[in-house]
Amino acid sequence: MTEQEFCQSCQQRQSCQAAYEKLSSVKGPSVLLKVLVAFLLPMLVFIIALVVADRFLVGRVSGRDLRIFLEFLIAVLTTIVCMFSIKVVRVRNDGER
């Protein structure tokens, strides 16, 4: 059964359609920047920190397993600090408004 056929046989078809129309007409601020900061920025910071840590530690730490662990630890800590900093700045900016 296709979606069209399913909707045609539904008893709540009119109220469902009205709800979707109402939701689609809601106007509000764009959430694109918030989505980028919340999801893409942490991944980007993690990857960059991992590459930088790898290039920094490749000649300085002899054990491969230890180097991989330290690279991962540095990348995670850098990401946490970055996200915490963004949160602090955001709270301060929201308080000034």
pLDDT in tens, 49-94: 999 999 999 999 999 999 999 999 999 999 999 999 998 988 888 8
Would the pTM of this model clear 0.75, i.e. be above it? Answer: no
Whole-angstrom CA distances from 8 to 19, 40, 69, 93 are 16, 40, 57, 49
What distance lies between CA 15 and its chain's CA centroid? 34
* Pair 45, 36: CB distance under 8 Å: no
Instruction: Enumerate the domain spans of the chain.
Output: 29-96
In angstroms, the Cα distances linking 73 to 14, 56, 65, 79 are 55, 14, 12, 10
